[in-house]
Amino acid sequence: MSKLSANTQYLIGISATMGGYMAALFGSILTLKAHPELAGPALWAVAVLPALPIGGSIWVFLRYIEQVDEYVRAVTLKRFIVATGLTLFVCTAWGFLEENAGAHHFSLYLVYPVFWAFYGAASALYRSAS
Amino acid sequence: MKQYLRELRTGAGLTQADLATRLGVSRQAVIALETDKHIPSLDLAYKISGVFDRPVEDIFENPYRPKTA
């Protein structure tokens, strides 16, 4: 069992996954530029590489929620659920706008920062779970 | 839910940080409990009851129990 606090473990985990994200992003871009002949599964593997640390950061966050006390968990979960709902709503609405009203194309990898922007807004709005 | 946590804590000479340590929760959690922003789980209510050696209903008023005159 780890002796580090949940906050410390979270900071270490997020720093590691964000560091991994930067490395994977530049690694992926540089590899794709250096090897334009890549195709099939190899191309898919290199292209998707930056998404893997993002999955890791979500796992770190969910682990943090399990480790904190019931009050912090309740508040954090409320913010997480509100941010998830807003992200789903906005992305679905934008999808319809793209499809039916010619709105500018929104790249799906931007969904992740959009979620965290909504999480920040939810954190400002919800200071308690009640 | 009406509660008497702050009165009991100060009566026992404990700070919010002291109580948080004894309960194994954050100070934020103690503040939320004292300001009615969080209703504790049964497990946490029993822990609080253990710290003050009082029945749970002496600390958290039971709104569902009929009042006796």
Residue A127: what pLDDT?
A: 78
B24 Cβ contact partners less than 8 Å away, ≥ 6 residues apart? A69, B47
Cα gap B26→B16, rounded to integer Å = 9
Residue A129: what pLDDT?
A: 66
- Cβ within 8 Å, pair B33-A68: no
Q: What is the pLDDT of residues B9-68, one digit of tens each?
A: 999 999 999 999 999 999 999 999 999 999 999 999 999 999 999 999 999 998 898 876
A49 Cβ contact partners less than 8 Å away, ≥ 6 residues apart? A24, A25, A27, A28
H helices, E strands: number in chain A: 5, 0
User: Between vectors from CA A67 to CA B24 and to CA A54, what angle results, nearest 5°?
Assistant: 155
Shortest distance between the Cα of A121 and any Cα of chain B, in A, equals 20
Residue A126: what pLDDT?
A: 87
Residue A4: what pLDDT?
A: 87
Looking at beta carbons, which residues of chain B come within 8 Å of A71?
A: 25-26, 28-29, 32-33, 38
Looking at beta carbons, which residues of chain B come within 8 Å of A123?
A: none
Shortest distance between the Cα of B28 and any Cα of chain A, in A, equals 8
Cα gap A7→A25, rounded to integer Å = 26
Mean pLDDT, residues A3-9: 89
Residue B67: what pLDDT?
A: 75
Q: What is the pLDDT of residues A92-119, one digit of tens each?
A: 999 999 999 999 999 998 999 999 999 9
- Cβ within 8 Å, pair A72-B29: yes
Q: What is the pLDDT of residues A7-66, one digit of tens each?
A: 999 999 999 999 999 999 999 999 999 999 999 999 999 999 999 999 999 999 999 999
Inter-residue long-range contacts of A117-123, CB under 8 Å, 24+ positions, other chains counted: A118/A82, A118/A83, A118/A86, A118/A87, A118/A90, A119/A79, A119/A80, A119/A83, A121/A83, A121/A86, A122/A78, A122/A79, A122/A80, A122/A82, A122/A83, A122/A86, A123/A79
Residue A74: what pLDDT?
A: 95
Shortest distance between the Cα of B69 and any Cα of chain A, in A, equals 32
**pTM above threshold 0.90:** no
Looking at beta carbons, which residues of chain A come within 8 Å of B32?
A: 71, 128
Looking at beta carbons, which residues of chain B come within 8 Å of A70?
A: 25, 29, 38, 40-41, 44
